[in-house]
Amino acid sequence: MWPNDPYFKKYSDERRHNWDGAANLDRDKKCPRYYREYLTRVYRFCIPEGARVLEIGCGKGFLLASLKPSYGVGVDFSQSMITAAQKRYPGLRFECADAHCLEIEGEFDYIILSDVLNDVWDVQTILEKLHPLCRNETKIIFNFFSHLWKGPLNFARRLGLATPTLRQNWLTREDMANLLYLSGYEVFRSWSEFLFPVGIPIVSDFLNKFLAKIWPFKIFDLTNFMIARPKPSVRRAWKQNPPTVSVLVPARNEAGNIMAILDRIPEMGGGGGGTEIIFVEGNSSDDTYEVITRAIEESERNCVLYRQPGRGKGDAVRTGFAKANGDILMILDADMTVPPEDLPRFYDAIYSGRAEFVNGVRLVYPMQERAMRFFNLLGNKFFSGAFSWLLGQTLRDSLCGTKALTKSNYERIVQNRAYFGDFDPFGDFDLIFGAAKLNLRIVDLPVRYRDRTYGDTNINRWRHGWMLLKMVAYAAFKIKFV
């Protein structure tokens, strides 16, 4: 095997000697502080405080410490770097080891490899060594230099403006995606950052926060980022104990649909109580609340009813999910334009591990003739493109009300809600933006959209469309241009 290859030994010794020497230098003089701080800002956006974090190629530990992990482990093959890191950050754990022969116990929420893959002998081996440290939910975040910057960086190093390095691997995003696939991972988000690597007040931030995110300027970005996760498998804990399910049904002026909802929602998941159905009645002008009350009394289903304290679907969603007992949470609009019979497919996507957040999509299959008006359809297509660009993940239909996620991930969204604030009267975007901020694997699930059989839509296309435009602008400055 190549660990005994003399070329590998020479390669490793050269790099170890190079980074041992770098550890004795003032890093800020050799590596521009602006670049380091910008990378830190990106990683802090991606990784919430209090996570379990492993950094491969941690250097002196600055990035790992800035993430404020509840448990942080840094690995570097330079003993001088590790010694410096231990001295600076005694509350973190540091180990001197070669990532090609990694032997660490435990599982982590996030594993980061920042500016490491350009300098290693075998990328695939390192990726395969990470599997024992991952759960299904673990996210691995990489950044590596763009191939287009090979010439400019080499020139800058000759002038002493960039950190001196030995010969590098120059990976494209396609190369990296292929190596991840071969190593048993899937990429679900990739983007580029950092158009202008010199720190000039105002100018640098404008170029890197705005122009670097927009075509064609982003073609010339210095650094590629990728987020991957292990290829999914059924969670071990769920093999013997299938997850329970809570289906939230926000209901406003939907009296004529209630009995059909109770009849048509399938039983899903494990547990002795059956699928929990949570009705949240929202200030109806008809007798929806009374109809739900009678239906629950007559039904043998596991049902509860709450009267919504505020207004808007978003308030109803937050009210119902706060009361839910299931391991998997779902939303089903009471108009049943998305058939309740489709809910088991949302359950399967979460249970199998293929998705962490499932978003219904009405724009793939032909819909019934009166299901969606023309301008509503145009608006949906526009907003799906806008949100895909904002989130860095494909989102074909941002306005479909049917969604699913685990209760544990919803609770993480709640804990992180202060980042966006109470901005969403619809409820869908609070969940979508929260899932994207936590780097959950968002998966679109096509459904066949049906005509309404009772009542009228609660959506005003022009007033609500204007609200959505303002939300897109708001989200751009909270997610894209940060």
> What is the full DSSP assignment across 300-356?
-SEEEEEE-SSSSHHHHHHHHHHH---SEEEE--TT-SS-GGGHHHHHHHHHTTS-S
What 3-state DSSP class applies to 470? helix
At 226, which helix (H) or strand (E)?
strand 223-230
**HSE, side-chain direction, 13 A CA sphere, residue 426:** 22
- pLDDT tens by residue, 350-397: 998 889 999 998 877 766 555 555 656 666 677 777 777 877 777 778
Q: What is the DSSP string of 238-281?
A: HHHSPPPEEEEEEESS-GGGHHHHHHHSPP-SSSSS--EEEEEE
State the Cα–Cα distance between residues 119 and 265, nearest whole angstrom: 54
pTM of the model: 0.82
- Distance, in Å, from the CA atom of 25 to the CA atom of 468, rounded to the nearest integer, reads 51
The H or E element containing residue 312 is none
Show pLDDT as tens, one digit a residue, over the chain (482 residues): 456 677 778 877 777 777 777 666 554 443 468 888 999 999 999 999 999 999 999 999 999 999 999 999 999 989 999 999 999 999 999 999 999 888 899 999 999 999 999 888 889 999 999 999 998 899 999 999 887 777 776 676 676 656 656 677 878 888 899 999 989 999 999 999 999 878 888 999 899 999 999 989 998 998 999 999 998 765 545 666 789 999 999 999 999 999 999 999 999 988 766 799 999 998 898 999 999 999 999 998 999 999 999 888 889 999 999 999 999 999 999 988 899 999 999 999 999 888 999 999 887 776 655 555 565 666 667 777 777 787 777 777 877 889 999 999 999 999 988 887 766 667 778 899 889 889 999 999 988 887 766 556 555 555 666 777 777 787 778 888 77
The whole-angstrom separation of Cα 46 and Cα 479 is 10
What is the phi/psi pair of residue 161, to 5°? -95, -10
CA–CA gap between residue 412 and residue 244 (Å, rounded): 19
Q: How far apart are the first and last CA of the chain?
A: 45
User: Alpha-carbon distance 74 to 405, whole Å?
Assistant: 32
Q: Does residue 117 contact residue 169 with C-beta atoms inside 8 Å?
A: yes
Q: Strand, helix or coil at 107?
A: coil
Distance, in Å, from the CA atom of 469 to the CA atom of 40, rounded to the nearest integer, reads: 30
Task: Output the six-digit token pair for 118.
Answer: 């350009």
CA distance 83 to 60: 8
- Identify which of 97, 94, 96 has the alpha carbon closest to the alpha carbon of residue 85: 94
Q: How many CB atoms lie within 10 A of CB 297?
A: 8
Measured between alpha carbons, how far is 80 from 59 in angstroms, rounded to an integer?
9
Cα dihedral 198, 204, 207, 212 sign: positive
- Give me the domains of the chain, ranges plus CATH numbers: 2-230 (3.40.50.150), 237-480 (3.90.550.10)
